[in-house]
Structure 1
């Protein structure tokens, strides 16, 4: 009886934790005026016919606060990396000197900061919606367990409360992460 509930709780916690980790990854990928190698994570390069992430084919380093340097292990891939960056939605023009590619991040304008804050807020809200969806599915599973007489009415009420508490704590964590990121963006 309790084993079925424990399995539901474990799955809920795992899914919610994954949602928070995904949100953290999305935050890291936000371009905020400082050089951050994670902005390249979503860019794939056509390397010998296979889409390959830049960090798997080059050393990516921050040389100055606003400059990223990409040094490919295979110099012949330099053009392909440059082309992938240009066609991405990064909005930065790569500078290729024949050995490395440099990306210079422009300082953020007040208007751009406000746009990024809105994007972060939207990402946070989407993550909270995902967590609430996980809660809804879990409560439906608990109700199905109760309907099949695998758990009692009291177990169901206790389980619903426990899932709601998990939901509240994960939503709070997302809100805190978003607030911290927004504060960072406005201070740059």
Structure 2
């Protein structure tokens, strides 16, 4: 089965954004180069972890003597992107993601793969002619994004802000509170 790779080596824009109201938001990783826009859905937790790990990688790179990759310690003001998403069309829902560092280009590398629709019990079943034709039509996809260190720092900052803009936590139980009320159950002492 061929894999369709949505590759962005020096994107014009790479952001996490949401559609919907707090408590019912859909998170998207959206990347654009020119007129080519790809949006993939992901979980809030995936978004938060991605921002955290990007900052960890960048903070570790700063500690290298002389900071040879010119990693900024904070978000460069010219790279701040507070604009909303561009009408997302979900390419796929993200399952596994990887994060890497490419020292040859001084870029953070994100790979995102869709949730698997493969039933593990079907793997050993022989393919008949009809299923072979169905599989060729259902190619797999992935997204590969490379972003320079300043863009990566801005991406992480925006992502933390987007994740934090959800429902406020209850000061008593810690669970999210809805706008229309909250049934708080305090933990037993």
User: TM above 0.5, one fold?
Assistant: no
- Select the structure that is richer in helix: 1
Higher radius of gyration, 1 or 2: 1
State the TM-score, normalized to the length of structure 1: 0.26
- Select the structure that is richer in strand: 2
State the TM-score, normalized to the length of structure 2: 0.26
